[in-house]
Amino acid sequence: MQSKARHILVVRKANSDRAARLEAEIGAWLRARGHSVTAISGGFDDPAYALPDLDFAVVLGGDGTMLGVARRVAGRGIPLLGINFGRVGFLADIQPEQWEKGLADSLAGITPERTCMALQWKVVRNGSTLAKGVAVNDVVLSRAALSRLVNMDIGVDGQEMCHLRSDGVILSTPIGSSGYSVSAGGPLLYPSLNCMVFTPICPFLNTIPPMVFPQATRFGIDLLPGTTETYITVDGQEGLLLQVGDRVEVTGLEDAVCFVGKEMPFFERLRTRGFVTDMASGAKHK
């Protein structure tokens, strides 16, 4: 089946000769079938992400590369097809040797697509937006090297939630809940849920437990005097040093990212990450 002509963004893993070679092969294959192609290297911002007529993206890399691309096109309804050049490949699940069939089926609409929520965040300093963006996995506020606490007032939907002194706080999506959040004692969420997780990191005197909130909840986190050096980190890939008086605002974005491909079954994913026991073999992974 011949798919309609599209403008396709091809993003290759940075510093990978193998991915660069496959990018050239895929680009030629797509152009021969009437598609227009824009090819870039991943790992940094590029004007190509903002091209208005993009309607499909092929990512040659691992989950880290996929996350970087997903953040930059979130909310635009652009399907992302991942060809795995990483290790496990939870998000990029087509193997390089199977790229042609995988790409042809995806463009023809044979391969299923799934959407997931993301987090929209911004940092406000002195009344002006200093930085903003999207997170697919999590937004983390955490202290730097000094063994001192982050001092925060946290509000939810305009209401005061708590005053928190801790090593930091994690706000995560369902697909991000199996990372830093669960390691810090947060709940593990089924990936198709539409909600967000609030997880304090080592709260002083255990003032508040991890909690689950609706996707549309709006968090406001104010850094108070007495706070140690604090960073905001997005998906473990982007960071910014904050100051006392800064306000961090985070809310959920429904159906913000679209991934192409059949999702790895939830419990298989947990076994791969070592969260559950493989009952067939009796081997405990974690």
Q: Which residues are annotated as a binding site for NAD(+)?
A: 63-64, 137-138, 148, 165, 167, 175, 178-183, 237
Question: What b/e string do you get for 125-164 counting C-beta neighbours within 10 Å, with b at 16 or more?
Answer: eeeeeebebbbbbbbbbbbeeeeebbbbebbeeeeebeeb
Parallel, antiparallel, or unpaired: how do β-strands 113-125 and 247-260 relate? antiparallel
**Cα–Cα dist 93/85, whole Å:** 9
Residues whose CB falls within 8 Å of the CB of residue 164, separated by 6 or more in sequence, listed in order = 150, 151, 152, 153, 154, 200, 203, 207, 208
Instruction: Give me the amino acid identity at 283.
Output: A
Parallel, antiparallel, or unpaired: how do β-strands 56-61 and 79-84 relate? parallel
**Cα–Cα dist 123/217, whole Å:** 17
Task: Verify whether residue 63 is a known catalytic residue.
Answer: yes
User: From the candidates 53, 63, 93, 153, which is the catalytic residue?
Assistant: 63
DSSP 34: T
Q: Where in the sequence numbering do the catalytic residues fall?
A: 63
